[in-house]
Amino acid sequence: MLHSLASNRCVRVIDRNRPAWYFAFLTASYLLYLVFGAVIFSSVELPYEDLLRKDLQELKRSFLGENQCLSEEQLEGFLERVLEASNYGVSILNNASGNWNWDFMSSLFFASTVLSTTGYGHTVPLSDGGKTFCILYSVIGIPFTFLLFTALVQRILVYVARRPVLYIHLRWGYPKHMVAMVHAFLLGLLTVTCFFFIPAAVFSIMEEDWNFLESFYFCFISLSTIGLGDYVPGEGYNQRFRELYKLGITCYLLLGLVAMLVVLEAFCELQELKTFRKLFYVKRGKDEDQENIVEHDQLAFSSISDQVASLKDEHKLSEPFVALHPVASYATDGSINNEH
């Protein structure tokens, strides 16, 4: 009897602490993934960096040998000044001197990268006033951008995800979670095609020095808001229609970020992901867990609660369909009730 009680108590303790163990495993896996990335990047890129350093040193020695009237200290000072200006987006090269970084379209492009937190780093404020304004502009603008994107994504999600899934579920009676999963994958495939593959093909044509892989790399780095800044479109000295091109890139970035957020939200609403996320929740009482689940479902479907009635009316137009298939309706807690 005592052994059975101890065994049951041990099982309850393990079950109570299971989310903590899952969370510890998740944290350890993330740290290992960071280390794995560092090892791979170091092993792949370090030889190329070493080769580039050797090429630059050889070029420097060759230049000093051909220009013996120039001392190494003078050359170092000149290069240091040039590199410092380059870090601010100003180039000394003749083929880049015609491109201004702070005309209106370039400034609009810079503002969009700041507010979307992409931040390529190819152009930065030069003056103290510009740096101060950038701080104040970002403090207000970044939360403003997130608020706008959140509201916009929720509105778009109703028409491109929730209503189509609900319609197919009601019209043909397929399981809602399966419809949502297939729809999310199709939506993701459409987004990748429209905002990655097609723009990459366009960039590979517009940018003379970019191939398709480099163009696709730019699209991914931009729409994931990583913004490394090693590839920035519209900076070529012979770029035609540069201002219009910059405006188009700005629109592409903003629309692409919204599309990415829509896809991510569509995947986050999948029941399988909700179940997976619950593995890492802190263990609570049954009543509190049920309350949280109900509240989450209300948040997920609150934006279409006012449209369910219209959908039901549309499906009731066909009497045979109503007779053969139950009509699903949403209760106040987000669950589905069947009315026969």
pLDDT digits (tens, 9 = 90+) for 256-310: 999 999 999 999 888 888 888 777 776 655 545 544 544 444 444 444 444 444 4
Total Cβ atoms within 10 A of residue 96: 14
Tell me if residue 331 falls in helix, strand or coil: coil
| Dist. CA 16–CA 18, nearest whole Å | 6
Q: 101-280: what fold? A: Helix Hairpins (1.10.287)
The fraction of the chain above a pLDDT of 90, given in percent, is 30
- Find tokens 């999310």 and name the residue: 184
Please, what is the Cα angle at 146 between 307 and 191, to 5 degrees? 65
Q: Is 105 left (phi over 0), alpha (psi -120 to 50) or beta?
A: alpha
- Among the listed ranges 67-71, 105-109, 167-171, 312-316, which one has the minimum average pLDDT value? 312-316
φ and ψ of 304, to 5 deg: -115, 5
Contact 206, 232 (CB under 8 A): no
**pLDDT band at residue 183, thresholds of 50, 70 and 90?**
very high
Q: Is the pLDDT at 159 greater than 90, yes or no?
A: yes
| Dist. CA 173–CA 330, nearest whole Å | 15
| Dist. CA 199–CA 6, nearest whole Å | 63
| Dist. CA 244–CA 206, nearest whole Å | 13
Element (H, E) at 281: none
Element (H, E) at 197: none
AA letter at 223? L
φ and ψ of 97, to 5 deg: -70, -20
**Looking at residue 327, what is its pLDDT?**
37
φ and ψ of 315, to 5 deg: -80, -20
Could you tell me where the beta strands, DSSP code E, fall in the chain? Answer: 327-330, 336-339
Token couple for 153: 């994504």
**pLDDT band at residue 4, thresholds of 50, 70 and 90?**
low
**Looking at residue 6, what is its pLDDT?**
62
Once rounded to an integer, what is the mean pLDDT over residues 110-134?
A: 86
Q: Is the pLDDT at 322 greater than 50, yes or no?
A: no
pTM for the whole structure:
0.71
**pLDDT band at residue 199, thresholds of 50, 70 and 90?**
very high
**Looking at residue 332, what is its pLDDT?**
37
Tell me if residue 224 falls in helix, strand or coil: coil
Q: Is 173 left (phi over 0), alpha (psi -120 to 50) or beta?
A: left
Cα separation of the two ends of the chain? 51
Total Cβ atoms within 10 A of residue 270: 16
**pLDDT band at residue 149, thresholds of 50, 70 and 90?**
very high
